[in-house]
Amino acid sequence: MMIRDTKQLGAALQRERKRRGMTQTQLAEKAGVRQQTISAVERGKPRSELQVIFDIMSALGIEMSLQTRSGKSTPSLEELF
């Protein structure tokens, strides 16, 4: 899945949180942010701070890699994180 906007990123983070069996509150505590922040990020709030996104990803134990866009097939979520 190619992630190209905040809504897609929020949905991907929400899927990963749920896959790990975590509540928004548990993730917020681990990431050092408020539960409302997790909720806003998962909804794709366009003004989410990049550092907050990285803190959430760190709390989930995932990372993002950048690559040049190409006409090739879309990588899976596992390939992106």
DSSP for the chain reads ----SHHHHHHHHHHHHHHTT--HHHHHHHHTS-HHHHHHHHTT-TT--HHHHHHHHHHHT---------SSPPPPHHHH-
- Please tell me the predicted confidence (pLDDT) of residue 68: 73
The candidate with the shortest Cα–Cα distance to 7, out of 56, 47, 60, is 47
CATH of domain 6-61: 1.10.260.40
The whole-angstrom separation of Cα 65 and Cα 81 is: 7
pLDDT tens, residue order, the chain (81 aa) = 678 788 999 999 999 999 999 999 999 999 999 999 999 999 998 777 888 998 999 999 998 887 777 766 565 666 665
- Domain chopping of the chain, boundaries: 6-61
Can you read off the two tokens belonging to residue 52?
A: 């907050």
What pLDDT score was predicted for residue 45?
A: 86
Q: Is the whole-model pTM more than 0.85?
A: no
